[in-house]
Structure 1
Amino acid sequence: MKIEIYKFPMNGPEDLSGLRSLVEDGTVIPNEIVAIIAKTEGNGNVNDFTRGYTTFAIKSMLSNYLGCTHSNVSERVSIVCSGGCEGVMSPHATVFTKKNVNENKVSDDKRFAIGVNKTRELLPEEIGTCIHAKLVYQNVKEAMALALIENVKDVHYVQIKCPLLTSGRINDAERRGKQVVTKDTLKSMAFSRGASSLGVAMALNEVDEDKIVDSTICNDWSHFSSVASASAGIELMNNEIIVMGNSKKSISNCIIGHSVMNDPIDSMAVRNALQSVGINANPKVDIDDQKRLINVFAKAEAHTSGLVKNRRTTMLTDSDINSTRYARAVVNAVIASIVDDPMVYVSGGSEHQGPLGGGPVSVIAYIA
């Protein structure tokens, strides 16, 4: 198994010129693409349609290259679009290709590996519940096997794209006599992310499956995953699952590592994540190591107390701007100041993704 990873900037939600160039110059073979993760410039909330716009653009391009329908593209490629590029965060996409090779490795060192999977479509009343979490749990296990990762400790990043509730979806459930987890569409994003992340935590033995019940989700913050990254969107009803880690059976030229931020300005956790792939940042990444760095993926959220380092903030009391937008801007700025590049992936809303107010941070880099 060999994985190649490419990152390209986007000048708008529909701009895939970077991917087109990679395909046309022969760098990327379309039928080897297994996943695309993009940061789009919408508000990241319920009515962020840039995610769907980018997803549609990707499906349209790949359907032409692959000679198949949009639905066929969805079956072959896991597409995750996360909205919100506040502050200095630069819109971009990361493409992952995978091919099976017969080349023998000369060592037992572990290299980057990836496995993708998807759940069935959820019913509105299942979103944000234990049913949701257990579906993710089962499919993360399968994706891990597809990645040829044998030990849960070798998993360093699990990206989930999960659904949310809309008025139409809520009405559909009620017409059938079913009750949804919340009638607040914005809060439904949190419940969906939380259930997805607890599913990851169960799959990776980070929490005891028997302790996770419906009332645990978005309530008991002592249960979380240190590698989950869940992003909710209006553009789907299933869960897209991308498991990344290191495997002895991979001959990729890159590796992945992670750490966990305890709050939005936890720069030491960012440095620890970089160090896990052999990149020093004292105080920031030097020019040579910048060339090794492929991308950084992080989660961001305001603590429910509104405090950071015991200092009061207004992230939770500003009614004009959702707190996830503040958190994304802050975490991106912290990471960008260390790696000297604002084109990194930061997703808002870290329910059960790292400790309360914090979040996982993962780094993919070329092997030195």
Structure 2
Amino acid sequence: MQTTSVGVIRIATKGPGDVSGLMSMIGSGAIDPTEILAILGKTEGNGGVNDFTREYAVAALCTALAPLLGLSREDVEQRIAFVMSGGTEGVLSPHITVFTRRAAERPARVTGKRLGIGMAHTRDFLPEELGRSAQITETAKAVKAAMEDAGIIDPADVHFVQIKCPLLTSDRVEAAAARGNKTATTSSYGSMAYSRGASALGVAVALGEIAADVGDADVLRRHDLFSKVASTSAGIELMHNVVIVLGNSTASVSPFEIGHAVMSDAIDAAAVMSALQSVGLAVAPQATKGRQLVNIFAKAEASPDGSVRGSRHTMLEDTDISSTRHARAAVGGLIAGLAGTGAVYVSGGAEHQGPPGGGPVAVIAQLSD
């Protein structure tokens, strides 16, 4: 198994099309563009079907990187995994997190498991396959391929699986109907939940968190079936799933570690603290000697039963603001307070991603070595 070194750099952005921070890092030599494997970002859109800040951000990044890599914009998007999550409500701050990977020798001082990253793609889906068994099965295959790419053997070493998945548009629904097939839903907004949920179940199947016989009827219905490490985000800009696996591996010599915990609800501060502690960090201010917070990645959703610890919430009853936006703001504020920064990656819509109303939270820390 090849030994690799993974790099992680968080860069603030002034807008969805801002690549100046990334270009500055490349210009200074802090980032080698040929080593970029994935870029995860938070953009200041609405996070809905018509959130074009995601596509805009990816286009800007591909345009900037294309001449440096000697590739077309389209080829850059195939080479690098881009996952843009729309919605920076409340104190959440727009930013990107750049992951690099290169071959490396193991220094004598580096022992144990360090952060590893792997990427894989599913095939393109037909509109009628979104939110159904085909998406679950193909996602599970891609997760296993990404684990292999990351050099991770034990599923217990996987701490976060980020997926970008498709959604339905009216044209896609009509295309399925023209073939005599029905889609899981005819609602574009509703299809985001179906696609996120099926993708998360695929992660759970791949990691052995649930049985492999999960099917169409379980998506968005069996809330007891979920992954503790899946984070899925739906967008209009693709028809396949992009899978990024983050975990700790003996094949990595990077100066980073990742850990995670699972929030039981939107105000579960103890879980966030547990995730920080899993990589040797304390709550803000992080004065832990020899370790530094890089970023926190979390999922958020409005509890489907309409309450949080016995108190009624109105997130699902607000016709002005989507519940996903409420949830991102609430969970983002909680995590920001504990992390000491609003530049954290909190994604809305946690169907089958952690228990109902909760979600996974992962932390990456940099070690002094």
* TM-score above 0.5: yes
Checking the alignment, whether the CA contact within 8 Å between 1:197 and 1:225 is kept in structure 2 is: yes
Query: Which residue of structure 2 lines up, in the alignment, with residue 179 of structure 1?
Result: 182
The one-letter code matched in structure 2 to 1:254 is F
Shift of 1:287: 4.2
Q: Which runs of 5+ in 1 are unaligned?
A: none
Query: Which residue of structure 1 lines up, in the alignment, with residue 244 of structure 2?
Result: 242
> For the residues of structure 1 that align with 2:127 and 2:94, how far apart are their CA atoms?
30
Give the 3-state SS of the residue equivalent to 2:192 in structure 1. Answer: helix
- Correspondences of 1:168-247 after superposition (within 5 Å): 168-210=171-213, 212-247=214-249
RMSD: 1.3
Quick one: which of 112, 123, 144 aligns to 1:109?
112
Shift of 1:323: 0.3
Checking the alignment, whether the CA contact within 8 Å between 1:299 and 1:358 is kept in structure 2 is: yes
The one-letter code matched in structure 2 to 1:225 is S
Is 1:141 the counterpart of 2:144 in the alignment?
A: yes
TM-score, normalised via structure 1 length = 0.97
> For the residues of structure 2 that align with 1:225 and 1:290, how far apart are their CA atoms?
31
Checking the alignment, whether the CA contact within 8 Å between 1:260 and 1:359 is kept in structure 2 is: yes
Checking the alignment, whether the CA contact within 8 Å between 2:41 and 2:85 is kept in structure 1 is: yes
The one-letter code matched in structure 1 to 2:198 is A
> For the residues of structure 2 that align with 1:221 and 1:289, how far apart are their CA atoms?
41
Q: Closer, same or farther in 2 for the Cα pair 1:57/1:148, shift >3 Å?
A: same
Query: Which residue of structure 1 lines up, in the alignment, with residue 309 of structure 2?
Result: 309
Which aligned runs of 4 or more in structure 1 are off by greater than 6 angstroms? Answer: none
Residue deviations 1:148-203 (CA, integer Å, cap 9, x gap)? 01100000000000000011111111111111000011110000000000000001
Checking the alignment, whether the CA contact within 8 Å between 2:139 and 2:203 is kept in structure 1 is: yes
Shift of 1:104: 4.7
Q: Closer, same or farther in 2 for the Cα pair 1:223/1:252, shift >3 Å?
A: same
Is 1:10 the counterpart of 2:8 in the alignment?
A: no
> For the residues of structure 1 that align with 2:339 and 2:263, how far apart are their CA atoms?
16
Checking the alignment, whether the CA contact within 8 Å between 1:82 and 1:231 is kept in structure 2 is: yes
Shift of 1:45: 0.6
Aligned residues: 365
> For the residues of structure 1 that align with 2:272 and 2:168, how far apart are their CA atoms?
33
Checking the alignment, whether the CA contact within 8 Å between 2:261 and 2:361 is kept in structure 1 is: yes
Query: Which residue of structure 1 lines up, in the alignment, with residue 77 of structure 2?
Result: 74
> For the residues of structure 1 that align with 2:9 and 2:110, how far apart are their CA atoms?
25
The one-letter code matched in structure 1 to 2:140 is Y
TM-score, normalised via structure 2 length = 0.97
Give the 3-state SS of the residue equivalent to 1:317 in structure 2. Answer: coil
> For the residues of structure 2 that align with 1:129 and 1:69, how far apart are their CA atoms?
33
Shift of 1:62: 1.2
Checking the alignment, whether the CA contact within 8 Å between 1:279 and 1:285 is kept in structure 2 is: no
Q: Which runs of 5+ in 2 are unaligned?
A: none
The one-letter code matched in structure 1 to 2:297 is F
Query: Which residue of structure 1 lines up, in the alignment, with residue 356 of structure 2?
Result: 356
Checking the alignment, whether the CA contact within 8 Å between 2:6 and 2:254 is kept in structure 1 is: yes
> For the residues of structure 2 that align with 1:80 and 1:252, how far apart are their CA atoms?
22
Q: Closer, same or farther in 2 for the Cα pair 1:20/1:107, shift >3 Å?
A: closer
Give the 3-state SS of the residue equivalent to 1:222 in structure 2. Answer: coil
- Correspondences of 1:49-64 after superposition (within 5 Å): 49-64=52-67
> For the residues of structure 1 that align with 2:182 and 2:107, how far apart are their CA atoms?
54
Shift of 1:107: 5.4
- Correspondences of 1:285-364 after superposition (within 5 Å): 285-287=285-287, 292-364=292-364
Give the 3-state SS of the residue equivalent to 1:189 in structure 2. Answer: helix
Q: Closer, same or farther in 2 for the Cα pair 1:289/1:351, shift >3 Å?
A: farther
> For the residues of structure 2 that align with 1:215 and 1:23, how far apart are their CA atoms?
47
Checking the alignment, whether the CA contact within 8 Å between 2:281 and 2:291 is kept in structure 1 is: no
The one-letter code matched in structure 2 to 1:256 is I
> For the residues of structure 1 that align with 2:71 and 2:26, how far apart are their CA atoms?
17
Checking the alignment, whether the CA contact within 8 Å between 1:279 and 1:289 is kept in structure 2 is: no
Query: Which residue of structure 1 lines up, in the alignment, with residue 279 of structure 2?
Result: 277
Identity percentage of aligned residues? 49
- Correspondences of 1:18-37 after superposition (within 5 Å): 18-37=21-40
Shift of 1:367: 2.0
Shift of 1:207: 0.4
> For the residues of structure 2 that align with 1:185 and 1:306, how far apart are their CA atoms?
23
Shift of 1:108: 4.2
> For the residues of structure 1 that align with 2:197 and 2:230, how far apart are their CA atoms?
10
